[in-house]
Amino acid sequence: MLSKEFSFELIAQNEKARLGKINTPRGIIDTPAFMPVGTQGTVKGIFTDDILQTNTQIILGNTYHLLLRPGIKILEKYNGLHNFMNWNKPILTDSGGYQIMSLSKFNKIDSKMGAIFTSHIDGKKIILSPEKSIQVQKSINSDIIMVLDECPKLTTDKKILSKAIDVSTHWAKRSKTEFGNNKSKALFGIAQGGLFKDLRIESIQKLIEINFNGYAMGGLAVGEKQSDMFKILNESIDYFPKDKPRYLMGVGTPSDILGAVKEGVDMFDCVMPTRSGRTGLAFTWQGKVNLKNSKYQNDKMPLDEDCEIKELNKYSKGYLNHLIKSNEMMASMLISLHNIYFYQQFMREIQTNIKNRTFQSFYKKYINLFN
């Protein structure tokens, strides 16, 4: 039977790598978990019943995009995104903060009002306050809600990073108040602080004082070196409470995930498997495969002989190469699905290896395969 409340259980640990389980009223999420991204109410090119076949237990929706289109009025009519897009398992939504920085024009941060921006669709001016972000995520009926944060671009300017922590902490408090008391859902705080250990710890400690159901690392995977990301995780992640899930936002390649799991991260999301799928790049146990390359033209082998979902093992690399060259959307459909399948298989292998206390050798075997 499904839990009526959100909860997290730490099941096993192999050095810092953690095996866990998140319970939600809509389903359990085994961690370390990967969340495919469904930006606009669809994981691009993949039917929801095929996503289920990949053993995906949770997907991510983007508050910024969904607020602009279809808008909260329509989402409320459907009692939220699950029903609208025909996905009945858990959904996590980001707060919209990151997209406001990266996608919209003339954005401005006003600590009191929130993020002020113009829509990238129709140029309309919108103010997203911390309260409004939570309200929108409630309209989406999201199972895991993120606080609105200020996510600065990659910088070594401590003043900018410090100010972002101040604003984000202030907004995190207001988000918590707006979220109120709802045990069936979760609210996660987001730490900032760039690549500075002292700032990360400061941000984390301020969030812990507010007390959230889970904690995210924000402001990483914004262009820094992978080794820098692993280093700051190593230096700061132990300051998060052990009994709450830890989410590294927007990450990443399979080796990014592997290295972050090694430091103790539990949750990930990234557009990489679907975006790469649309450009003909596949992830496999032999590494990355660029199916645009003509050398695959005569390759009769599938990407994964053992993958039986959607008969993916019946489609050869030669056929995929043909579809890409012919600009057929079937290429995106098949490779995106393969990539999500691969990512989830990768996560299950990570889980198994933590359980069996063999994670370190798994890590060594694959950490450089996808770079």
Residue 332 Cβ, how far from a second copy at the closest point, in Å? 7
* Site membership for a second copy, residue 328 (CB under 8 A): yes
Q: Which two tokens stand for residue 80?
A: 């939220």
Nearer to a second copy, 247 or 319 (CB): 319
Quick one: CA torsion of 84, 85, 88, 92, rounded to 10 degrees? -100
Q: How far is CA 3 from CA 130, 187, 246, 329, in A?
A: 29, 17, 20, 39
Paired residues of 7 in beta bridges:
23
**What is the x/- site pattern for a second copy, positions 51-70, by CB under 8 A?**
------------------xx
| Selected binder of a second copy within 113, 198, 311, 365 (CB under 8 A) | 311
Helix, strand, or coil here: 114? Answer: strand
* Site membership for a second copy, residue 309 (CB under 8 A): no
| Selected binder of a second copy within 330, 345, 349, 367 (CB under 8 A) | 330
Q: How far is CA 93 from CA 67, 131, 145, 298, 352, in A?
A: 11, 15, 6, 42, 27
Nearer to a second copy, 97 or 302 (CB): 302
Nearer to a second copy, 112 or 300 (CB): 300
Residue 143, judged by CB atoms within 10 A of its CB (0-12, 13-18, 19+), counts as: buried
Kindly report the length of the chain.
Answer: 371
Indicate which residue of 50, 256, 266, 269 is catalytic: 269
Nearer to a second copy, 5 or 49 (CB): 49
Look at residues 253, 280, 269 and name the one whose alpha carbon lies nearest to residue 334: 280
Look at residues 176, 186, 184 and name the one whose alpha carbon lies nearest to residue 210: 176
Residue 268 Cβ, how far from a second copy at the closest point, in Å? 23
Residues 62-121 that bind a second copy (CB under 8 A): 69-70, 74, 77-78, 84-86
State the DSSP string of 272-284.
HHHHHHHHTEEEE
Residue 25 Cβ, how far from a second copy at the closest point, in Å? 20
* Site membership for a second copy, residue 318 (CB under 8 A): yes
Residue ranges with strand state E in 155-296: 186-191, 214-217, 246-248, 267-270, 281-284, 287-290
Rg of the chain on CA atoms, in Å:
20
* Site membership for a second copy, residue 298 (CB under 8 A): yes
**Catalytic residue flag (residue 269):** yes
Residue 231 Cβ, how far from a second copy at the closest point, in Å? 38
| Selected binder of a second copy within 32, 45, 61, 245 (CB under 8 A) | 45
**Catalytic residue flag (residue 304):** no
CA distance 303 to 336: 12
| Selected binder of a second copy within 323, 324, 350, 354 (CB under 8 A) | 323
Catalytic residue list: 94, 269
Residues at the site binding a second copy, with contacts judged by CB under 8 A: 40-42, 44-45, 47-49, 69-70, 74, 77-78, 84-86, 297-298, 300, 310-311, 314-316, 318-319, 322-323, 325-326, 328-330, 332-333
